[in-house]
Amino acid sequence: MEPLERYRPIVDDFEAFRAACERPLPSAVRVNTIKATAERVRRALDEADIASDPVDWHDGLFVLPEDSPGSNWPYFHGWIHGQEEVSAVPATVLDPKPGDRVWDACAAPGSKTTQLAALMDDHGEVVATDNNLGRISALRTNTERLGATSIAVTHEDARNHSLKPFGGANYDRALVDVPCSCEGTIRKNPDAFEDWTLSHVEGIAGVQKGVLKRAVEATAPGGTVVYSTCTFAPEENEAVLDFALDETACELVDYDLPLDHRPGVTEWDGEAFDPSVQKAKRIYPHHNDTGGFFCAKLEVTGE
Ligand SMILES: C[S@@+](CC[C@H](N)C(=O)[O-])C[C@H]1O[C@@H](n2cnc3c(N)ncnc32)[C@H](O)[C@@H]1O
């Protein structure tokens, strides 16, 4: 638990935060609206004797207190997908519409890609990129099981993403759900801190900056980019946004989130960030009994 100690200065009720990080997280599933409705899924789970609790802020999410998402018929039919509550936030914030062209820059294994396709009623184009072939295989399997036909998969480094294979036009929206130190997944993965080092945090921040930069460049002026991580480290969150504000044509925008959250921090370890990073949202495990998460919404200004 040592890495958590560094967040004492920025987390309110630190002992409650630490205690929540030590509690296991129950499984949750998202209803795949390409194939089913929340009502149909609830009935199917009832008929299979699987306990499910609706999530109050999102009518397409259920917590399964006693079951695992991949071991029931609604899962095999592609009616549900295992996805924890906070993981459903970024696609909701990106809010794509049917017909949009959307880039999911770090997509595998596809929880958010398939959520984007569902939000678009599977009409339009979701380009799903990842640089890890093994994880791309899981992305393809999930895409097929969930029946999403609007997804095109690319295997490449998102920092060098080319628009050419897709006609060269910029995207309407981009999701940048970057690789990170995963501190916020500690309730699901008790080993999450085993290989934690500050040099890994600082190293991965370089990748995050490169991917976010490419996403802003690849999105049309007026378009939206959502940046998210499942970690608490400001080096991977506000510092990456601060870099994007300096180096690319974008600005942070406000958004509503019906989960208890805290604003982005404007100072860390002697470094001051652009005050607008407060528009980003930090989701802590002790506030909503979820995993930890960070999510920011940016508008591409084009100048
Ligand atoms: C947080 S995970 C993405 C989870 C995914 N968005 C989901 O909801 O299922 C980050 C992903 O980024 C991929 N990745 C890491 N570096 C990358 C890079 N330079 N370009 C593209 N993908 C990268 C990893 O393979 C990993 O699958």
Q: Whose CA is nearest to atom 17 of ligand 1?
A: 131
Residue pLDDT, tens place only, 8-60: 999 999 999 999 999 999 899 999 999 999 999 999 999 999 999 999 999 99
Q: Is the pTM of this model over 0.85?
A: yes
Asked whether 172 and 139 are in contact (CB, 8 A), the reply is no
H helices of 23-171, where?
38-47, 73-76, 89-94, 111-119, 133-145
Of these residues, 21, 180, 230, 295, which one is catalytic?
230
Give the pLDDT mean for 216-228.
98
Residue-wise pLDDT tens digits, 50-102: 999 999 999 999 999 987 777 889 999 999 999 999 999 999 999 999 999 99
User: Mean of the pLDDT values across residues 101-108?
Assistant: 98
pLDDT in tens, 107-149: 999 999 999 999 999 999 999 999 999 999 999 999 999 999 9
Residue 134 exposed, middle or buried by CB count within 10 Å (0-12, 13-18, 19+): exposed
Residue 234: what pLDDT?
Answer: 98
230 is catalytic: yes
Per-residue confidence (pLDDT) for residue 287, from 0 to 100: 97
The response to whether residue 132 sits with its C-beta less than 6 Å from ligand 1 reads: yes
